[in-house]
Amino acid sequence: MNILIIGSGAREHAMAWAVLRSEKVLKVFVAPGNGGTAMMGGKVSNVPIGTTELDALLDFASKESVDLTIVGPEQPLGLGVVNRFRDAGRRVVGPTQEAARLETSKVFAKDFMKRQAIPSAEYRVFRSHAEAKAYLESCGSFPQVIKASGLCAGKGVVVAMSRQEALEAIHEFFEARVFGDAADEVVIEGFLHGQEASVFALTDGHEYRLFQSAQDHKRIGEGDTGKNTGGMGAYAPAPLVTPEVMRKVEEQVIRPTLAGMAAEGYPYTGFLYVGLMIERGEPSVVEFNARLGDPETQVVLPLLKSDFVDALMASVDGGLNDVPFEMHDGSAATVVMASAGYPDAYQSGKEISIDPTVALIDGATVFHAGTKREGSKLLTAGGRVLSVTALGGSLKDALDKAYEGIGKIHFEGACFRRDIGAKAL
Ligand code: AMP
Ligand code: GLY
């Protein structure tokens, strides 16, 4: 079987690694991939096609007789890559453009959750600066959370602690137009207290299977300080998501979401990422994503013991509840190494050295993100450069091994958080 993975991050490197464990796989193509997928060799090769070049991706899939395509990031989903592949009769894992609105339109997601009585913060939608400003001036309580409705690469959310900050945010969104059309509609919602965790499902639109819950570390600085990033590390399972909380998430969020999307005419297929705030055991939805998370994928896929490809095939062809979907015992942790300056401007092209003994750490794997191979050298080529994942009998064990791996990797200006998972220990 030939598989095409669309994307270039550590998430897609982890997907390539996970599908390779299936004996059925002959070739794995990653478009465009990164230095890590370039170095996997054997069955894996990079394809120089960008994630939003839908025509070229589809042509490639037919020429190379790709049996199954997996979409990593949200941009191609928002452009309708799944609709295109399906219309051409090709198997693809992901939601259609209409269903992906759970991520690509926060207004759609909030209105949908309201229609389906899915627990989430109270909100209002604004389409002009004047209306939003009038609302904030009359608003009695802060913090308020201001969100651009469209895709903003994780940067379109401001948790405004004061009226002043909130007014600055809507000015940025509506007047300075820092996110362009993505902020033509803005959601202002109430602040949820509690702790964050994420739950991931794979679904065929009706049946679903759950991966382990995970916790991301979004801020650049230790102690959850500083700017938001794509994610600086993660671990799974999240102790916060007890079996009781998971049962509530299934009953109050996942089932009504799948049933509601199907009833409204947009059955949701592929991966569903549910970002949650949990307070005293009660879950509330912070966001939906129409894909797996990065860096969460680097912990949830290594914990999947059964065959990933069988589950993906069943999510497209049916019978998802009949395939094995078993998890390893223990925990996984991943620590991200980023370029100096990230999440602001950063330099690229720094040579990366990876001590080969990293491969000897039992259960550890290096997943690349912003790396590229140039001749015999490996160079930095992005903000988040790579992540080291490790499995362990306990979270402590997994974290120790991940940090042991980090200690064996060097490049000029490398940054990483030393407190990944610390709160859960
Ligand atoms: P989002 O892109 O919607 O996940 O928002 C990014 C981050 O902002 C989340 O991971 C939370 O840390 C925070 N956030 C978003 N919405 C809320 C909310 N209603 N209450 C508290 N924090 C929030
Ligand atoms: N790590 C957060 C995300 O993938 O959206």
Task: List the Cα angle 261/85/291 in 5-degree steps.
Answer: 50
Task: List the Cα angle 299/12/29 in 5-degree steps.
Answer: 140
The CA 146 to ligand 1 mean position distance, Å, reads 9
The CA 14 to ligand 1 mean position distance, Å, reads 26
Inside any domain, residue 262? yes
CATH of the domain at 261: 3.30.470.20
Calculate mean pLDDT across residues 216-224: 95
Looking at 94, 115, 143, the residue that finishes a domain is: 94
* Ligand 2 atom 3: residue of nearest CA: 293
Calculate mean pLDDT across residues 27-41: 97
Helix 106-115, helix 255-263: angle, nearest 10: 100
40-49 pLDDT per residue, tens: 999 999 999 9
Q: What is the pLDDT of residue 154?
A: 80
Calculate mean pLDDT across residues 103-122: 98
The values of phi and psi at residue 391, to 5°, are -100, 150
Asked whether residue 393 carries a pLDDT value surpassing 90, the answer given is yes
Calculate mean pLDDT across residues 278-289: 98
Probe residue for ligand 2, chosen from 106, 276, 289 as the CB with the greatest number of ligand atoms within 8 Å: 289
Calculate mean pLDDT across residues 278-291: 98
Asked whether residue 62 carries a pLDDT value surpassing 90, the answer given is yes
Inside any domain, residue 165? yes
294-353 pLDDT per residue, tens: 999 999 999 999 999 999 999 999 999 999 999 999 999 999 999 999 999 999 999 999
Q: Give the confidence band of 125 by pLDDT, cuts at 50, 70, 90.
A: very high
Number of the ligand 2 atom closest to the C-alpha atom of 11: 4
Output the average pLDDT for the chain: 97
Looking at 322, 350, 375, the residue that finishes a domain is: 322
pTM: 0.97
Contact residues for 26 (Cβ-Cβ < 8 A; gap 6+) = 1, 2, 43
Asked whether residue 183 carries a pLDDT value surpassing 90, the answer given is yes
CB of 46 within 8 A of CB of 37? yes
Calculate mean pLDDT across residues 190-198: 97
Contact residues for 292 (Cβ-Cβ < 8 A; gap 6+) = 11, 15, 72, 200, 271, 273, 300, 301
Within this chain, do residues 243 and 306 fall inside the same structural domain, yes or no? Answer: yes
* Ligand 1 atom 9: residue of nearest CA: 286
137-157 pLDDT per residue, tens: 999 899 999 999 999 988 899
Looking at 184, 205, 228, the residue that finishes a domain is: 184
Inside any domain, residue 13? yes
Total count of domains within the chain: 4
225-263 pLDDT per residue, tens: 998 899 999 999 999 999 999 999 999 999 999 999 999
CB of 75 within 8 A of CB of 50? no
Task: List the Cα angle 317/318/320 in 5-degree steps.
Answer: 120
Asked whether residue 98 carries a pLDDT value surpassing 90, the answer given is yes
C-alpha closest to that of 66 among 46, 96, 92: 92
Q: Which of 151-165, 208-222, 264-278, 290-304 has the lowest mean pLDDT?
A: 151-165
C-alpha closest to that of 97 among 267, 317, 297, 287: 267
Show the ligand 2 pocket: residues with CB < 6 angstroms. Answer: 154, 216, 230-231, 289, 293-294, 296
The values of phi and psi at residue 328, to 5°, are -70, 150
* Ligand 2 atom 4: residue of nearest CA: 293
Tokens 């362990």 label which residue? 392
Amino acid (one-letter) located at 278: I
Inside any domain, residue 115? no
Containing structural domain, residue 365? 331-410
C-alpha closest to that of 9 among 63, 71, 62: 71
Show the ligand 1 pocket: residues with CB < 6 angstroms. Answer: 121, 145, 147, 157, 159, 189, 191-192, 196, 218, 275, 286-287
Q: Give the confidence band of 170 by pLDDT, cuts at 50, 70, 90.
A: very high
What does the block give as tokens for 202? Answer: 């794979």
Number of the ligand 1 atom closest to the C-alpha atom of 189: 19
Distance of CA 26 to the CA centre of its chain: 26
The CA 353 to ligand 1 mean position distance, Å, reads 36
CATH of the domain at 166: 3.30.1490.20
Inside any domain, residue 363? yes
Q: What is the pLDDT of residue 153?
A: 84
CB of 424 within 8 A of CB of 357? no
C-alpha closest to that of 180 among 148, 133, 145: 148
Within this chain, do residues 21 and 63 fall inside the same structural domain, yes or no? Answer: yes
Inside any domain, residue 423? no
Inside any domain, residue 277? yes
